[in-house]
Amino acid sequence: MLKKLKSLLGGGEKKARASAQGLPATLTKEQEQHILQSGTQGQRQALAERHDARPEVLYYLAEDASAEVRKAIAQNPSTPIQAAEKLISDDDEGVRAELARKIGRLVPGLAPGEQTALREKAIKVLETLAEDQLPKVRAIIADEIKTSDQVPKDLIDRLARDVEAIVCGPILQYSPLLNDDDLREIIAAGISIGALKAIASRANISVDVSADIAATLDVPAIASLLANTNAQIREDTLDQIIDHAKTVEELHAPLALRPQLSIRAMKRIAGFVASALVHAMMDQAELPEEQAEDLLERVRERLSSERVGDDEESELAARALEYFQKGMLDDAFVHDQIEANRRELLLQCLAVMADLPVTTVRQIIHSKSGRAVTALAWKAGLSMRTAYELQTKYALVPAAQLLSAKDGKNYPIDDNELDWHLSYFVEQA
């Protein structure tokens, strides 16, 4: 049994501190007795750490006055279970924490029927520690047994309902002993944000559990649910999430990037998320060109109707000029504005950078022409990589009209042609 304990708990034969404390490689009973009666704390601790110490010696040291000695007893895989029973209620939280870590690793490795008496005693110690007043101790137990199916179900149920997220979280996310009924009951009873997010992150989530999570309207949990590719979500549940997400920006990205969205769901999502997210959603779905263009057209119509008022436009124009004068307008700035969906501010900035009227820049962005948008980026002094990002994520240029970089980074057409594409819009102004 000693060999199995060492294997389960990572214990190799060691005699830590023995040399430092002057203890011989092998101790006689008389030498052990001498250390117990008159040894220094360091010698007693070194003895408590030894895997070859007799069980009765380790049992005796479980009541040592030094917390460090008792902690060594709690850690030692050779410590008899009777000594562990004495340490359950130790006044030192560090001792209880180390005992929790050791017992938490031991019990899942003791299969039912294997030395029944030892297993029953170890489980009793585990259950007692799982009720410790210190959340840290309970959390250690939860983390050690979270993936085991060889621990009592009632222990898992108790930890899953713990009020502390650091305790219930690992159990709720990983325990194979929790079924759908358990999870739905726990959700219905009301749990903390962290605990609900843990359920939403489980390896497999049924449609019913997903529906219950969505019904809570808890944003972090719903975001985790959407990001979980193994979570099964019914169409009506997804519709509820979409309705909720319209006014909750934190859900836009996880919703748009949810795999295997129906074209119907994508059209609804495209009605309110940033254009960059629409493009990412389309890329992930690999839509046929006709469906992709239909989706882009819906987004263009929405964006064209989202014009700011005159006062706000003047304020944004002044801000763009200020940024230009401070030397802030560059490729990185443009990228950040696209990702943050600051469309009107970026429009004003592009106008300043390219030294063009805002109305002309707006016409170019709405033109669906990859060459025109690329020419605008060139006039603004931006890289071709940024020009491509402006085409795809900002101007929503159709796939057939996109102009790609030459050699991965260079403008594919010369300056004269770029200037020609701009001149058409300048003449129209």
Mean pLDDT in each 10-residue stretch from start to end of the chain (429 residues)? 42 41 76 88 90 91 92 91 90 93 85 72 91 94 93 94 94 96 93 88 96 94 95 96 93 93 91 87 85 84 73 89 94 93 92 92 90 94 95 88 89 91 79
Tell me what pLDDT residue 114 has: 58
Task: Evaluate whether 276 touches 247 at the Cβ level (below 8 Å).
Answer: no
Rounded Cα distance between 86 and 74, Å, is 10
Tell me what pLDDT residue 264 has: 92
Tell me what pLDDT residue 287 has: 83
CB atoms within 10 A of CB 312: 12
DSSP codes of every residue in 97-161: HHHHHHHHHHGGGS-TTSSHHHHHHHHHHHHHHTT-SSHHHHHHHHHHHTT-SSS-HHHHHHHHT
Q: Which helix (H) or strand (E) holds 238?
A: helix 235-245
Tell me what pLDDT residue 150 has: 87
Tell me what pLDDT residue 15 has: 41
- 């609900």: which residue's tokens? 196
Tell me what pLDDT residue 10 has: 42
Chain Cα centroid distance, residue 29:
54
Tell me what pLDDT residue 16 has: 41
